[in-house]
Amino acid sequence: MVKAMGFVQLLNVLVETVNSKEGESEDLAKGEEEFLKGNILCDEGRYEEAVVQYQASIKLGLEDDKLVHNNMGVAYDSLGHHEKALDNYRAAIKLDPNYEVAWYNMGNAFSYLHEYTKAIRCYDKALHLNPGYRMAEYDKGLALAQLGKARKALDTYEDILKKYPDDHIAWYRKGILLEEIGRFLEATEAYRRATKIRPNFLDAWNGMGNALYAMESYEQAIDSYDKAIDVDPENEEAWNNKGFTYFMLGIYDEALSCYDKALEINPGYKHGWYNKGYTFHGMDRLEEAIGCYERALEIDNEDEVLWNNLGNALYNLGRYEESLPYFFEAIEVNPDYEIAWNNIGNALDKMGRHEESIQFHDRSLEIKPDFDYALYAKGHALANLGRPEEGLELINESLELNPNYDHSWFAKAETFEIMGKIEEARDALNNSLILNPGFEEAWVFRGELMAEMGNYEEAQICLSEALRCLDFILMMSPGNIHAQYEKGDLLIKLGRYKDAVACFDAIVDTDAEQEDAWVKRADALSNSGKHTEAVNSLNEAIDNGLQSWKVWFAYGRSQHLAGDLENALEAFDKAYSMDDEAEILIEKSKVLYEQKKYGQAVSTVDKVLDSDKNAHLVKANCLRELGKHKEALACYKDVVSNGSVEDLGWFGMALTYSRMGKHRDSLRCLDMAIAVNDSCGEYWYEKGRALLKLKNPAKALRYFEVALEIDPDFEEASKEIRRLRSRSEGSTK
């Protein structure tokens, strides 16, 4: 669709009609001057300033000039203010009902508003007044196509071309129409005819490139854009289109070079900044993508896709809280933009705010009921809210619509895992990884499932594959802090603590205010047994001004592991004064337990019993040490029923029964603990002790041996084995 009138045509009309009559007032002369200034500003694309000049000319006496109203309408159309444009075209037509240019422009304004039936009436009126008005014929054809009347639209162009077979504009417009209705091959032929008639027809070469791009004939599309560039080396659109085609071919350096050329020609070219950002986004160079999106938004802050993509880049960096305002900006611009509504829900899901996320997924689905991304996302949120059956139903619906989306299969795997269906979860993950072998999160999850199924060798292979994926991301985007965090976490899982520390060091070296990196660095040091170094590392973070509850909480844990219980308690108190997180009080109660301050530990943990399942275990252990065995057993039963640390609940119950002298009950509980987790040497050791108390040393010896086999450094088990074997040899002699 041509933007209202071409300005060359516009200015020719204006020159023809600005008549200064002798004796006109000074104001009228000034009005004509303002009018001409407005035309020049329009020609330069400075539409807002042009409107001001036109308004000034009306105030100075040109209120009855149809051209002023028409041209102000053109300026408003160019600004996207189509209703205001219509008011001006109506004013022009009221002054001269036979003014075909205003009828034509009114048709364009209706087309911009997607009111194509009204647009066609206007084009017909313009053609009635001027049967040779080809621009009106061209745009009538496009409006017919938008109404689904493709045959009529094509007939319009065929009629023009029968009369004017060498009309390069008609061939070009026919190409646009054929593109609109998805007939790309025929569109390329129409563009080819246009360029044959007019070899230097820039728009036709660009159009041919676009049609070839739509057919995924990317190399040929680049050839067409090159022809456009040969015609006009300063055409930013051709450079931009060529760049995006290189992006689709995966030739990112060439793509970026083309965008840079487009932006060198026109630094205010929004599409160049957007596509450069999108290419960086695709390369996982997310910080650079953000910079480009921000530049594009400086040019046009009414683009919902730009706001959404900026939010998405932050989301992909793991900066979920920061991403939210940008998604909200997107729906402020376009309240029916379902992608942004869904992305708000996704960010909230990542932050663990599943209940809150549902309303945003629902709004997205109100706008587009078959939006597969929103269906799977809502399903995933429901699964995390303890409603996995409902969630699975939505995820399956999503996969029926789009079976090739890796994240939907991943969500299905997570839902199956919540339901305890481990094999089904593994199979869903396999599908996710077939679709996207570089999906590091899926490799990590698969590794966890393999470990749960007892296949530790396969689990290690999966984690190593995840590490390879992250290394590739970091090779492509060295500044990707989110990937650096994921790599550090993965190295901790693999037991490569020294490498994990180096990973978090790299983050801190880049940005010393990344408090999560300091916390995770301390965790890696603690896991490698370097508790004093962990404490010193967090001291450095605190000295640098990082004093959030997370840092103080990590400091307390490190002090606890280093054996400084008093400083640990002080740190936990400081953390809790900043944020009443349940885990702070649980860790504090563990320190009090070690100090044998069991009563204080119970009082502390009682504050968070309703908000953290693990609190019941700490309380039960304290009650056991206080000799309150019945209360302890009741608490352990709560632990077992909530399923979070079921084996520890059974084990604690076994120790309590042992203290009560009920060794058979203790043995029964130990069997339950081992059924849940048979790789803990301590459970086998206590089973051996229970059998000794039940006068069964032969069986006891066997279980002590299992304990030592699991943990070769288990000194107590080793002592019992030596003692029992010695006694057995003595009685034989």
> Of the ranges 59-68, 190-199, 686-695, which one carries the lowest mean pLDDT score?
59-68
pLDDT(664) > 70: yes
Mean pLDDT estimate for the chain: 90
**C-alpha to C-alpha distances, 62 to 24, 49, 592, 700, nearest whole angstrom:** 12, 18, 88, 108
Nearest to 567 by CA among 604, 529, 532: 532
Tokens of 15: 């020159």
> Of the ranges 70-74, 150-154, 708-712, which one carries the lowest mean pLDDT score?
150-154
Nearest to 698 by CA among 679, 720, 714, 672: 720
Distance CA 299, CA 311 (A): 17
Tokens of 611: 């908000």
Hey, what CATH class is 336-433 in? mainly alpha
How many residues are there in the chain? Answer: 733
Backbone angle region of 628, left / alpha / beta, with phi > 0 → left and psi within -120 to 50 → alpha: beta
Nearest to 592 by CA among 548, 626, 637, 542: 626
- Per-residue pLDDT of 211-222, as tens digits, reads 999 999 999 999
Which residue pairs, CB below 8 angstroms and at least 24 apart, start in 68-72?
68/35, 69/95, 69/102, 70/99, 70/101, 70/102, 70/105, 71/10, 71/14, 71/35, 71/38, 71/39, 71/42, 72/38
Q: Residue 55: how many CB atoms within 10 A of its CB? A: 14
Average pLDDT over residues 114-136: 91
Report the CATH fold assignment for 679-733: 1.25.40
Instruction: Please tell me what DSSP assigns to residue 723.
Output: H
- Per-residue pLDDT of 224-241, as tens digits, reads 999 999 999 999 999 999
Q: Residue 136: how many CB atoms within 10 A of its CB? A: 26
The angle formed by the CA atoms of residues 196, 271 and 73, to the nearest 5 degrees, is 80
Q: What SS3 state is found at 293?
A: helix
Tokens of 263: 């932006």
Instruction: Please tell me what DSSP assigns to residue 696.
Output: -
- Per-residue pLDDT of 327-348, as tens digits, reads 999 999 999 999 999 999 999 9
Residues with Cβ < 8 Å from 284, sequence gap 6 or more? 316, 473, 476, 477, 480, 483
Distance CA 196, CA 181 (A): 23
Where do the CATH 1.25.40.10 domains begin and end in the chain?
Answer: 1-130, 233-319, 336-433, 580-677
Q: What SS3 state is found at 317?
A: coil
Q: What SS3 state is found at 595?
A: coil
3-state helix/strand/coil string of 543-557: HCCCCCHHHHHHHHH
The pTM of the full predicted model, rounded to 2 decimals, is 0.69
- Per-residue pLDDT of 535-572, as tens digits, reads 999 999 999 999 999 999 999 999 999 999 999 999 99
Contact call for residues 541 and 517 (beta carbons, < 8 A): no
**C-alpha to C-alpha distances, 506 to 441, 524, 690, nearest whole angstrom:** 21, 14, 51
How far is Cα of residue 317 from the mean position of the Cα atoms in its chain?
9
Report the CATH fold assignment for 580-677: 1.25.40
Residues with Cβ < 8 Å from 666, sequence gap 6 or more? 654, 655, 657, 658, 686, 690
Percent of the chain residues past pLDDT 70, beyond the cut:
95
Helical H runs in 419-527? Answer: 422-435, 440-452, 456-476, 481-493, 497-510, 515-527
- DSSP-derived secondary structure for 336-405: T-HHHHHHHHHHHHHTT-HHHHHHHHHHHHHH-TT-HHHHHHHHHHHHHTT-HHHHHHHHHHHHHH-TT-
Q: 138 falls in which pLDDT band (50, 70, 90)?
A: confident
Contact call for residues 602 and 624 (beta carbons, < 8 A): no
Percent of the chain residues past pLDDT 90, beyond the cut:
72
Distance CA 106, CA 82 (A): 9
Contact call for residues 535 and 551 (beta carbons, < 8 A): no
How far is Cα of residue 502 from the mean position of the Cα atoms in its chain?
28
Q: 15 falls in which pLDDT band (50, 70, 90)?
A: very low
Helices 681-693 and 715-732: angle between axes, nearest 10 degrees: 40
pLDDT(315) > 50: yes
Distance CA 464, CA 479 (A): 22
3-state helix/strand/coil string of 172-225: HHHHHHHHHCCCHHHHHHHHHHHHHHCCCCHHHHHHHHHHHHHCCCHHHHHHHH
pLDDT(501) > 90: yes
Q: Which is the CATH superfamily of the domain at 1-130?
A: Tetratricopeptide repeat domain (1.25.40.10)
Nearest to 453 by CA among 466, 464, 440, 462: 462
What is the structure's pLDDT at 11? 35
Instruction: Please tell me what DSSP assigns to residue 454.
Output: T
Residues with Cβ < 8 Å from 300, sequence gap 6 or more? 270, 306
Average pLDDT over residues 40-45: 85
Q: How much of the chain is in helix, strand and coil states, percent to nearest 5?
A: 80, 0, 20
Q: Which is the CATH superfamily of the domain at 233-319?
A: Tetratricopeptide repeat domain (1.25.40.10)
Tokens of 326: 């940008």
- Per-residue pLDDT of 174-191, as tens digits, reads 898 889 888 999 999 999
What is the structure's pLDDT at 25? 59
**C-alpha to C-alpha distances, 138 to 120, 172, 367, 623, nearest whole angstrom:** 11, 10, 34, 86
Distance CA 175, CA 157 (A): 10
Distance CA 459, CA 141 (A): 62
Tokens of 294: 């921000």
Distance CA 373, CA 546 (A): 38
Tokens of 261: 């050329």
Contact call for residues 500 and 524 (beta carbons, < 8 A): yes
- Per-residue pLDDT of 585-627, as tens digits, reads 999 999 999 999 999 999 998 998 877 777 889 999 999 999 9
How far is Cα of residue 325 from the mean position of the Cα atoms in its chain?
13
pLDDT(285) > 90: no
Tokens of 557: 């844990």
> Of the ranges 41-55, 186-200, 665-679, which one carries the lowest mean pLDDT score?
41-55
Q: What SS3 state is found at 113?
A: coil
Q: What SS3 state is found at 511?
A: coil
- Per-residue pLDDT of 675-694, as tens digits, reads 999 989 999 999 999 999 99
